[in-house]
Amino acid sequence: MAPPATLRHARRFWLERQRGAICRPVSAAGGGCQVGLKEGVTLTPSGTQFVVRSPLATGLTLCLAGPSGQDETLIPMTREGDLWVANMARDCTGDLYGYRAHGEWAPGHGHWFDPAKMLVDPYALELDRRFTQHPSLAQLGADTGAIVPRAVVTGPLPEVAQTPPRFTAGGLIYEVNVRGFSKLHPGIPDALRGTVAALAHPLVIAHLQKLHVTAVELMPITAWIDERHLPPLGLSNAWGYNPVAMMALDPGLCPGGIAELRQTVEQLHEAGIGVILDLVLNHTGESDIFGGVISLRGLDDSAYAKRPDGQLINDTGCGNTLDFARPHVRQLAIDTLRHFVRHCGVDGFRFDLAPIMARGPGFDPHAPIFAQIAADPLLADRIMIAEPWDIGPGGYQLGHFPADWLEWNDRYRDDVRRFWRGDAPIGELATRLAGSADIFGQPPPGQTCRSVNFLAAHDGFTLADTVAFEQRHNLANGEGNRDGHGENFSWNNGVEGASVDPAICAHRARDLRALLGTLFASTGTIMLTAGDEMGRSQQGNNNAYAQDNAISWIDWEGRDRELEEFTAGLSRMRAERIALFRRFPEDGHWRSVDGGELHPQDWNSPASPGFIFTLGEGGDVLDICVDRERRAVSWKV
């Protein structure tokens, strides 16, 4: 194999290392472990053990090379039940490896064995380069050894001290696209821009503290591959929701590997800021039946959910669905979570299309994965956040996850937007403002509200675009403007898109402040997508997953500094009274905007101008006034 063009700086010293003797497998008689096998790579007293699951393969070959990718050695592996094992009589730390599987090629029956395909270990912890989409990944007999990344044998990783999560419910989550967040930041060195390490830069930490951010939520940073239709369009995946390796960090976003993430988490923790990882455990980037053979598909296709006729189930909309009814799939998920807690100290996880984790095939609120997480000593106290929908049958499960999980509340987003657009009564807004008890139920006194309230997220219009566009403008995505949400509950204040008209600009500024005022006054956890505090626009693109460019990158120099200061002020006031927003209000009092009594008919009348909501008691009382006619939300302590 030709050496990769670049190697991770964390492994550069290995390039100078003198290679030892050629690796040879250790026979069973020579002390190879036959019981208690652990998937992945493990250093043992006698050397290095490689274990991979492939129940239906007729043979497995370990392809082991030096750190530069040269001198590849092919080592036949030994079957141990559903697992295949190779024991090497030396420490292989720093070496590169992959697998080739032998067996039947019958995709219609779930058999994708092709020894021409280089396969990535599903338990890989580090890769030597990013994934590249190429037609040969799906072509029988086409060798992919020069295309597919090699996993890196890592030595024992340091474990971080386990402390309680820095984040608690009711705080502010700041959703971050790691690359787009810092790519254009003028104060961050070029070498750090677009990486995980940039989040620990003093200028970034100062910005987060100014906003009183309780935790950053990092959009996927594990290794992913472009969807196969993107390269011909000259586009690439900018979000990362198309993973191949669940534990390996993407070399482009995290060039320092697990050490870079661990150090960033540590520095954010020192600043009082938690870290939540957005994980995609619902599908892999191997896509539908026409997709590539890169990892699980070429090793263990039983990981994918299928119909009785053997066809892949596509409850994710991405071509395949991982089958959480199978114990080995759940174990891969649990091991992934444990890895990031044990070795990086992350505070929690947000799960993309989370109902997939509880399908068997229908959604089960008592699914085994929930009990496994709750019983795990490393995971039981972590923050778990569900995106509570997928596109499968019965896939909308808002309010149905475990009582100690938080959930993204899209009903909040839609109803708040509709209210300020002018087509929702005050009763709907009041319900959302007070924690959405109609969705999550009225909990026992003192229980934390589980709603994650947000006005905008990575998927959909930015907050600024919500008040500047009535329609999506996604032509740059190459799909004829058919992709993305069709209904955004947005309005343009008279002109579609950018405007220099002072009146229109003033109306938009007013609406943004009303929306933000509502968010920061709401019961439950709140989430702000990075850049929305400073008026970030995507030019009306509400599905910018393929726009790794200025459309999705934050324009720091052109930001709206007045809006940023306004948002920081709201966040400061909320942070000072955070206890009022964590739990459902038990003694809240509602009045009309003029201080009078609200009557039953007022709640559902589109003519009702708003309300005053009083929170707290004794010396800590907060009046929140929502005035639709003035298009303003004000606080009075």
Q: What is the pLDDT of residue 6?
A: 29
Q: How many CA atoms lie within 13 A of 283 on its CB side?
A: 26
Region 136-143: mean pLDDT is 98
Helix H, strand E, coil C: the string for 407-433 is EEEHHHHHHHHHHHHCCCCHHHHHHHH
Q: Is 387 a catalytic residue?
A: yes
In a domain, 41, yes or no: yes
In a domain, 110, yes or no: yes
Percent pLDDT > 70 in the chain is: 93
Of 152, 168, 193, the one marking the end of a domain is 152
Pairing outcome for strands 47-53 and 83-88:
antiparallel
Q: What is the pLDDT of residue 136?
A: 98
Q: Roughly what angle, to the nearest 10 degrees, separates helices 368-375 and 327-344?
A: 30
Q: What is the pLDDT of residue 70?
A: 87
Residue 1 has pLDDT above 60, yes or no: no
Report residue 587 as tokens: 């003694």
In a domain, 166, yes or no: no
In a domain, 143, yes or no: yes
Owner of token pair 């009702």: 608
In a domain, 67, yes or no: yes
Most confident of 34-43, 304-313, 520-529, 593-602: 520-529
Q: What is the pLDDT of residue 23?
A: 33
Q: Is 407 a catalytic residue?
A: no
Residue 97 has pLDDT above 70, yes or no: yes
> Between 276 and 605, where is the model more confident?
276
Other CB atoms within 10 A of residue 189 CB = 10
Instruction: List pLDDT tens digits, range 25-48.
Output: 333 323 333 358 999 999 999 999
Concatenated DSSP letters for 173-216?
EEEE-HHHHHTT-TTS-TTTTTSGGGGGSHHHHHHHHHTT-SEE
As for how many domains the chain has, the answer is 2
Catalytic residue among 95, 121, 260, 352: 352
In a domain, 473, yes or no: no
In a domain, 616, yes or no: yes
Q: What is the pLDDT of residue 195?
A: 98
Instruction: List the domain range (segments joined by +) for residue 20.
Output: 9-152
Cis ω for the linkage preceding 165 (within 30 of 0)? no
Distance CA 491, CA 470 (A): 5
Q: Nearest 5°: CA angle at 505, between 501 and 508?
A: 145
Chain mean pLDDT for the chain: 92
Interior/surface letters 559-579, b for 16+ CB within 10 angstroms, e for the rest: ebeebbebbbebbeebbeeee
> Between 7 and 461, where is the model more confident?
461
The CATH number of residue 51's host domain is 2.60.40.10
Provide the pLDDT confidence category of residue 460 given band limits of 50, 70 and 90: very high
Report residue 39 as tokens: 């998937």
Question: Where on the phi/psi map is residue 36: left (φ > 0), alpha (ψ -120 to 50), or beta?
Answer: left
Instruction: List pLDDT tens digits, range 150-200.
Output: 999 999 999 999 999 999 899 999 999 999 999 999 999 999 999 999 999
Instruction: List pLDDT tens digits, range 478-498.
Output: 999 999 999 999 999 999 999
Other CB atoms within 10 A of residue 553 CB = 24
Region 393-406: mean pLDDT is 96
Q: What is the pLDDT of residue 180?
A: 98
Region 313-317: mean pLDDT is 96
Provide the pLDDT confidence category of residue 446 given band limits of 50, 70 and 90: low
Of 152, 185, 214, the one marking the end of a domain is 152
In a domain, 438, yes or no: no
Of 137, 152, 167, the one marking the end of a domain is 152
The answer to whether the beta carbons of residues 337 and 375 sit under 8 Å apart is no
Instruction: List pLDDT tens digits, range 323-332.
Output: 999 999 999 9
Among candidate residues 279, 351, 352, 361, the one with its CA nearest the CA of residue 312:
361
Residue 132 corresponds to which amino acid? T
Q: What is the pLDDT of residue 429?
A: 96
- Give the Å distances, CA to CA, from 172 to 61, 127, 136, 574, 585: 48, 33, 45, 9, 18
> Between 362 and 297, where is the model more confident?
297
Distance CA 474, CA 77 (A): 49
Catalytic residue among 387, 407, 415, 560: 387
> Between 587 and 199, where is the model more confident?
199
